[in-house]
Amino acid sequence: MSYSSGRHFLQIPGPTNVPERVLRAISAPTIDHRGGAFGRFGLELLESVKEVFRTTSPVVIYPSSGTGAWEAALVNTLSPGDKVLMFEVGQFSTLWADMARRLGLDVTFVPGDWRTGPSAADVEKILTEDKGHTYKAVGVVHNETATGIYTNIAEVRKAMDRAGHPALLMVDAISSLGAMDYRHDEWGVDVTIAGSQKGLMLPPGLGLNALSERALAANKTAKLPKAYWDWQAMLGQNKAGFFPYTPATNLLYGLKEALSMIREEGLENVYARHERHGEATRRAVRTWGLEVVAKDPTQYSGTVTAVLMPEGFSADAFRKVVLDRFNMSLGSGLGKVNDKVFRIGHLGDFNDLMLAGTLCGVEMGLAVAGVPHKQGGAAAAMEHLTAMAQQAHQVPAGVR
CB nearer ligand PLP, residue 204 or residue 289: 204
H helices of 103-206, in order, are 120-129, 153-162
Site for ligand PLP contains 175 (CB under 6 A): yes
The C-alpha angle with vertex 346 and arms to 99 and 296, in degrees rounded to 5, equals 70
Whether the CB-CB separation of 62 and 203 falls below 8 Å is answered with no
Closest distance to ligand PLP from the beta carbon of 207 (Å): 7
Distance in Å from the first CA to the final CA of the chain: 52
Site for ligand PLP contains 92 (CB under 6 A): yes
Query: Which residue from 85, 137, 141, 344 is in contact with ligand PLP, where contact means CB under 6 A?
Result: 141
Closest distance to ligand PLP from the beta carbon of 32 (Å): 28
Which residues contact residue 250 at a Cβ distance below 8 angstroms, ignoring those fewer than 6 apart?
Answer: 26, 27, 28, 30
Site for ligand PLP contains 195 (CB under 6 A): yes
Site for ligand PLP contains 300 (CB under 6 A): no
Site for ligand PLP contains 145 (CB under 6 A): yes
Closest distance to ligand PLP from the beta carbon of 198 (Å): 6
By beta-carbon distance, which residue lies closest to ligand PLP?
66
CB nearer ligand PLP, residue 66 or residue 361: 66
Whether the CB-CB separation of 363 and 370 falls below 8 Å is answered with no
Q: How many residues bind ligand PLP (CB under 6 A)?
A: 12
For the chain, the C-alpha Rg in angstroms (whole number) is 22
Closest distance to ligand PLP from the beta carbon of 306 (Å): 12
Closest distance to ligand PLP from the beta carbon of 300 (Å): 15
Each residue 153-172 as x (binds ligand PLP by CB under 6 A) or -, in order, gives -------------------x
Closest distance to ligand PLP from the beta carbon of 94 (Å): 10
Closest distance to ligand PLP from the beta carbon of 193 (Å): 8
CB nearer ligand PLP, residue 139 or residue 361: 139
Please give the residues from 239 up to 278 whose contact with ligand PLP meets the rule CB under 6 A: none
Closest distance to ligand PLP from the beta carbon of 258 (Å): 16
| Burial of 164 from C-beta contacts in 10 A (0-12 / 13-18 / 19+) | exposed
CB nearer ligand PLP, residue 307 or residue 385: 307
Site for ligand PLP contains 327 (CB under 6 A): no
Closest distance to ligand PLP from the beta carbon of 91 (Å): 9
* Cβ-defined contacts of 330-335 (< 8 Å, 24+): 330/11, 330/12, 330/362, 331/11, 331/12, 331/13, 331/304, 331/306, 333/146, 333/306, 334/90, 334/91, 334/92, 334/146, 335/90, 335/91, 335/94, 335/146
Distance separating alpha carbons of residues 242 and 17, to the nearest angstrom: 29
CB nearer ligand PLP, residue 200 or residue 321: 200
Site for ligand PLP contains 174 (CB under 6 A): yes
CB nearer ligand PLP, residue 66 or residue 377: 66
Quick one: which of 198, 189, 173 has its CA closest to 17?
198
Quick one: which of 347, 349, 381 has its CA closest to 362?
381
Region of 268 on the Ramachandran plot (φ > 0 left; ψ -120 to 50 alpha; else beta)? alpha
Integer CA distances (angstroms), 294 to 43, 116, 211, in order: 41, 6, 30
Please give the residues from 36 up to 75 whose contact with ligand PLP meets the rule CB under 6 A: 65-67
Query: Which residue from 9, 12, 14, 362 is in contact with ligand PLP, where contact means CB under 6 A?
Result: 14
The C-alpha angle with vertex 254 and arms to 17 and 204, in degrees rounded to 5, equals 55
> Which spans of this chain sit near ligand PLP (rule: CB under 6 A)?
14, 65-67, 92, 141, 145, 172, 174-175, 195, 204
